[in-house]
Structure 1
Amino acid sequence: MKMNYIKKLALIIPTLIIVSCHDDLDQTPIDPDSFTENDVFANADEARGALAKLYASLALTGQQGPAGQPDISGIDEGTSQYSRMLFSLNELTTDNAVVGWGDPGLPNLHAMSWGAGNDFTTAMYYRLAQEVSFCNSFISNASSLDDPSVASFIAEARFLRAFAYYNLIDLYGNVPLVTQISTELPAQNSREEIFNYIEAELTEIQNNLNESGASEYGRVDRVAAWALLSKLYLNAETWIGQDRYTDAITYANQVINSSYQINTVDANGNGSAYDELFLADNDSNGAQDEFIFALNFDGNSSRTYGGTTFLVHAAIGGDMDAAAFGVNGGWSGLRTTKALVNKFDYAVTASDEDGNPTEWADHRAMFFTEGQNLEINTIANTFTDGYAVTKFKNIDSEGNAGSDAGGDFVDTDLPLIRMAEIYLTYAEAVTRGGSGGNTQAAVGYINELRQRAFGNTDGNISASDLTVDFVLDERARELYWEGQRRTDLIRYNDFTSGSYLWPFKGGSQSGTSVDDFRALFPLPSNIILINPNLTQNTGY
């Protein structure tokens, strides 16, 4: 059963968050069906319901859904959903995706020419600041309840707050650290201070979170804390100049030895189950065993124009049959570049008359090629330039469409952290010299992923194949369109430099380097104007 995020909950924090400060927390909700804040925190059962709002803030966009009463103003509501903006900032800025739409600020993302007023970089800051604020308020109110079960709820809220800050230091660098509701303008903290805070929070709450697998689907347990720590440590050298690869291995090992596991056999008993990770029944087809932290969606009860509704509809166009994806039509927007397609060159089994690949033995190469050009000559309004991606679908393992009879909204859940990523974290940390792991174990984890991808051992590698660069390419093959790519390229010094180019990087058709300051997004320009304590990131 999917966790229902659409239950009526008290909106205990104002909707537009600018500096994570609030001076009207006592206002009465406009919605007559809403509880008051006192009702929400009357007992542990009501607090558990309020906890859902913290998860919902990442999955949905407002109080009505799919549009109306938005959490964040100043941007199209569907666009403001967390994972849709994560895709925009961490995938559209890379070799993994282009979009043909001309929304203000959107073409600048792939061209890497955004400014401090960009709608998408601004709205993501607001979304994450809102999540921090919701968590702060929940923690403050729930702490007054004298019930042992509330401790785990508070730990979940602290995890979600730490997750928001993980995103903030990844995307923006130096940001205010706010852990309590306040009317004071916050000071700016360094990236290292935020890093240390996240580390301390996750370490402290791990034993207050439920044991591995003990939480209902859609809620985090202590394995999520270990997984986020491993991700944090993998980026430590890039973010704060500290080699923490040994720590990344330590926590990756704890995740790997937990109850979560790779979904290696599909629902019909076949060997390849990669595609089932991204189907409408991925909360029950075995994929859920791999999902350590996921956003839950339901085409009837949790509607949004972001999330997987965006990933399915926006990727359909040209000669593609929308019904085969369980929806009523495509938005003709998202495609990929040949740089991603070329990552699968070793597995090509068929090509067209021009020699462009059309079929692959690696089943992770989920591309629609009919009527599509491998080369991109024009991004805007030309869906057929660039291969389409078929990774996300609103059909279940038996081929049935999702629950929304109209075909507008999607049931497919979206993994934010899954076991395959932790395998790759372990492998990368080993190749970067971390201790506590070993190459043979890393090779074994990689081969487990590749055996799922191929359905046999044809794609297996040996120890001599496992290099730092190989892991980057394997991350591209396994995790594309899951919000990881920009962070990976920055860690490898490939995001801004001329060492790795892709079509239209820096606005050039053949690709070009950009200034290094692009490794961070700007703080929103109006935040800088409001809060004199903040200093804008270099270059903006």
Structure 2
Amino acid sequence: MKKYIKTIKNLFVVILLTSVVASCTKDLNIVPEDDQTVLSDALFENENAYLEVLAGTYANLSLTGVDGPESSNIKGLDAGTSQYGRTLLYLQTLSADQMIWSYENDPGTRELQRNIWTAQNPVILGMFSRAMVTVAFANNFLRETTKEKLDARNVSTATRENIVTYRAEARLLRALSYYNLMDLYGKAPMVVETDPTAGFNPPQADRTELFTFIESELLAIDADLMAPKTNQHGRADKAVAWMILAKMYLNAEVYIGEAKYTECLTECKKIIGGGFSLATNYAHLFMADNNTNSAINEIIFPLISDGLITQNYGPTTVMVNGEIGSLEANGIPLGVGASGWGGALRVRKQFAQLFDGGIFSGDTRNTIISGTRSIDITDISDKDQGYIIEKYSNATSTGTFGSDQTFVDTDFPLFRLADVYLMYAEAHLRGGSGGSNADMETYINALRTRANNPQNNLTAADISLEFILDERARELHWEAHRRQDLIRFGKFTGGNYNWAWKGNGSNGIALPSYMKVYPIPTASLASNPNLTQNTGY
């Protein structure tokens, strides 16, 4: 066991698991929007408990429960349809033009990838609920760390100083959840730590209200967060707050009808100046040791994954096992069983075509395997149709493998520097002030150089918004960005860009505009009368 707790990553994972157990009370099996997680004063007799309870909030991003990968701490929800990273991946990627899931009897997947979802979809409920659980955990931590509570417990000065940072991190995690809810659903129940803990139905906040709240929270906590790259692996720092702000500002026209590209550039420049650098090898970002190899220089915020300690059906476990081809049985070099999950995942034609052309033949981001396969998928259940990819791996950069052959050690890179470079370029092209053509060229060419792409001397004249959209797909595919990108570019709904199985048509059909947001889950509406359904559902 000792060899698995030598790294900072695994020490932190131990804290994650411990904290979830410590906070497991009769109220932990909460239903969506229930903000009544109560901790005992006895827990805080040991001042280390404050960090452990904070880690429990982080743990909600990786774990679904404390009794193994099948367990769920959300009443009535399956672990596979309520894991934070997996549901985010499905809602942002499976619903768009990059990914197909073969086993459409898996709850919720058929409707998502064919764009025929309803308010009863379990994955849509899972993401909504998981985000609200983070809100509940963060609020509870903030209630337990007020000056009055700390005074009553005679908490030491040293611990109080640390708690300032802990509270900022809790507020950041709450803001992250509300950012996801704003982006995906357009509205959410607004509840903070000063609200009642019993008999309270939170009021509904729309996108404008959510945008204002998230922005104000992230700006308010900036001074109390740790500097970039100085916190423990897997914990948030100033750069994570800047990243959320940058993404909000980039999408502000979608969210609140206002252009905030100058603000986006300001946040991007802060991150770029924060000491990050590109991983030396693109593949390092998606390997089992991406917490120690060159990826640590680029990843701004990961979702922790450990094949022994945090076993769960999260995004990297799903993708590594799922990308193993039904024909190729190529799992052994990727660190899982030879057949993986038997061809569960493939790519849609439109994504594969983004790598057409000679300049992409040696591009290291191009891990597509075509073989004897057809590029078209006319029958989703036929796992032999459509190309596969090998982006994610449970192998390490030193030639070894992860600790388990099913549950991978590969952290999910939720935010990374390459995305910042691309956001900088887009915000500059969209008219934001404070950027420059020279810096845009430097950042785009750095990505091309790292990818071993011979077209790595691009000038501003070569870089258009359409180029950026395609380059984002090549650089960031299967990282839970695509739906958001297509909406920002006006290509998700409507019929000016169709992809295979969009709208349940094999060649793609137009989607109505109301599908830019997901429905509020039926179960969530039933639990809170203040919530209303989104138009069209």
TM over 0.5: yes
For residue 436 of structure 1, what is the aligned residue in structure 2?
434
For residue 233 of structure 2, what is the aligned residue in structure 1?
217
For residue 32 of structure 1, what is the aligned residue in structure 2?
none
The one-letter code matched in structure 1 to 2:79 is E
Rounded to whole Å, the distance in 2 between the matches of 1:256 and 1:125 is 32
Residues 104 and 119 of structure 1 are in contact (CA less than 8 Å); yes or no, is this contact kept in structure 2? yes
Rounded to whole Å, the distance in 2 between the matches of 1:75 and 1:368 is 35
Residues 82 and 127 of structure 2 are in contact (CA less than 8 Å); yes or no, is this contact kept in structure 1? yes
For residue 348 of structure 2, what is the aligned residue in structure 1?
337
Q: Does residue 251 of structure 2 align to residue 235 of structure 1?
A: yes
Q: Does residue 306 of structure 2 align to residue 292 of structure 1?
A: no
Task: Report the structure, 1 or 2, having the larger helix content.
Answer: 2
The one-letter code matched in structure 2 to 1:19 is E
For residue 491 of structure 1, what is the aligned residue in structure 2?
488
Rounded to whole Å, the distance in 2 between the matches of 1:41 and 1:292 is 31
* Superimposed CA distance per residue, residues 402-442 of structure 1 (whole angstroms, 9 cap, x where no aligned partner): 112xx121001111110111111111100100001112211
What does 1:309-320 correspond to in 2, within 5 Å?
Answer: 309-318=317-326, 319-320=328-329
The one-letter code matched in structure 2 to 1:322 is G
The alignment partner of 2:413 has SS state of strand
The one-letter code matched in structure 2 to 1:310 is V
The alignment partner of 1:297 has SS state of coil
Rounded to whole Å, the distance in 2 between the matches of 1:467 and 1:243 is 18
- Segments of structure 2 that go 5 or more residues without pairing to the other structure are 1-6
- Segments of structure 1 that go 5 or more residues without pairing to the other structure are 27-35, 266-272, 350-359
Q: Does residue 418 of structure 2 align to residue 420 of structure 1?
A: yes
Residues 528-537 or 491-500, more deviating:
528-537
For residue 90 of structure 1, what is the aligned residue in structure 2?
92
Rounded to whole Å, the distance in 1 between the matches of 2:323 and 2:47 is 42
Q: Does residue 197 of structure 2 align to residue 182 of structure 1?
A: yes
The alignment partner of 1:313 has SS state of helix
Residues 299 and 411 of structure 1 are in contact (CA less than 8 Å); yes or no, is this contact kept in structure 2? yes
Rounded to whole Å, the distance in 1 between the matches of 2:216 and 2:355 is 40
* Superimposed CA distance per residue, residues 77-124 of structure 1 (whole angstroms, 9 cap, x where no aligned partner): 133211111111110110010111122321111111101111111111
Identify if the C-alpha distance between structure 1 residues 277 and 347 changes in structure 2 by more than 3 Å, giving closer, same or farther.
farther
For residue 519 of structure 1, what is the aligned residue in structure 2?
516
For residue 354 of structure 1, what is the aligned residue in structure 2?
none
Rounded to whole Å, the distance in 1 between the matches of 2:35 and 2:243 is 30
What does 1:109-258 correspond to in 2, within 5 Å?
Answer: 109-143=112-146, 144-145=149-150, 146=155, 147-180=160-193, 182-183=197-198, 184-258=200-274
Residues 482-491 or 45-54, more deviating:
45-54
For residue 3 of structure 2, what is the aligned residue in structure 1?
none
For residue 479 of structure 2, what is the aligned residue in structure 1?
482
Identify if the C-alpha distance between structure 1 residues 154 and 216 changes in structure 2 by more than 3 Å, giving closer, same or farther.
same
The alignment partner of 2:318 has SS state of helix
The alignment partner of 2:22 has SS state of coil
Rounded to whole Å, the distance in 2 between the matches of 1:210 and 1:40 is 26
Residues 211 and 221 of structure 1 are in contact (CA less than 8 Å); yes or no, is this contact kept in structure 2? yes
Deviation at 1:348, TM superposition (A): 5.6
Identify if the C-alpha distance between structure 1 residues 492 and 10 changes in structure 2 by more than 3 Å, giving closer, same or farther.
same
Residues 122-131 or 174-183, more deviating:
174-183
Return the match for 2:288 from 280, 286, 290.
280
Identify if the C-alpha distance between structure 1 residues 281 and 187 changes in structure 2 by more than 3 Å, giving closer, same or farther.
same
| CA RMSD in angstroms, aligned pairs only | 1.6
* Superimposed CA distance per residue, residues 321-373 of structure 1 (whole angstroms, 9 cap, x where no aligned partner): 21111012411211111111111223467xxxxxxxxxx22110111222432
Deviation at 1:526, TM superposition (A): 2.2
Residues 347 and 362 of structure 1 are in contact (CA less than 8 Å); yes or no, is this contact kept in structure 2? no
The alignment partner of 2:17 has SS state of coil
Residues 79 and 305 of structure 1 are in contact (CA less than 8 Å); yes or no, is this contact kept in structure 2? no
Deviation at 1:464, TM superposition (A): 0.5
The alignment partner of 1:539 has SS state of coil
The one-letter code matched in structure 2 to 1:460 is N
Return the match for 2:357 from 339, 346, 362.
346
The one-letter code matched in structure 2 to 1:411 is D
Q: Does residue 504 of structure 2 align to residue 507 of structure 1?
A: yes
Rounded to whole Å, the distance in 2 between the matches of 1:498 and 1:40 is 56
The alignment partner of 1:182 has SS state of coil
Q: Does residue 40 of structure 2 align to residue 46 of structure 1?
A: no
Residues 183-192 or 8-17, more deviating:
8-17
For residue 4 of structure 2, what is the aligned residue in structure 1?
none
Residues 107 and 123 of structure 2 are in contact (CA less than 8 Å); yes or no, is this contact kept in structure 1? no
The one-letter code matched in structure 2 to 1:423 is Y
For residue 530 of structure 1, what is the aligned residue in structure 2?
527
The alignment partner of 2:300 has SS state of strand
The alignment partner of 1:303 has SS state of coil
Q: Does residue 325 of structure 2 align to residue 321 of structure 1?
A: no
The alignment partner of 2:536 has SS state of coil
The alignment partner of 1:91 has SS state of helix
Identify if the C-alpha distance between structure 1 residues 280 and 441 changes in structure 2 by more than 3 Å, giving closer, same or farther.
same
Identify if the C-alpha distance between structure 1 residues 211 and 325 changes in structure 2 by more than 3 Å, giving closer, same or farther.
same
Residues 222-231 or 72-81, more deviating:
72-81
The one-letter code matched in structure 1 to 2:95 is T
Residues 173 and 520 of structure 1 are in contact (CA less than 8 Å); yes or no, is this contact kept in structure 2? yes
The one-letter code matched in structure 2 to 1:11 is C
Residues 79 and 306 of structure 1 are in contact (CA less than 8 Å); yes or no, is this contact kept in structure 2? no
Rounded to whole Å, the distance in 2 between the matches of 1:252 and 1:210 is 18
The alignment partner of 1:66 has SS state of coil
The one-letter code matched in structure 2 to 1:167 is N
Residues 163-172 or 360-369, more deviating:
360-369
Residues 222 and 238 of structure 2 are in contact (CA less than 8 Å); yes or no, is this contact kept in structure 1? yes
Deviation at 1:306, TM superposition (A): 1.9
Q: Does residue 72 of structure 2 align to residue 79 of structure 1?
A: no
Percent identical across equivalent pairs?
Answer: 39
Residues 295 and 416 of structure 1 are in contact (CA less than 8 Å); yes or no, is this contact kept in structure 2? yes
Rounded to whole Å, the distance in 2 between the matches of 1:245 and 1:131 is 29
For residue 386 of structure 1, what is the aligned residue in structure 2?
386
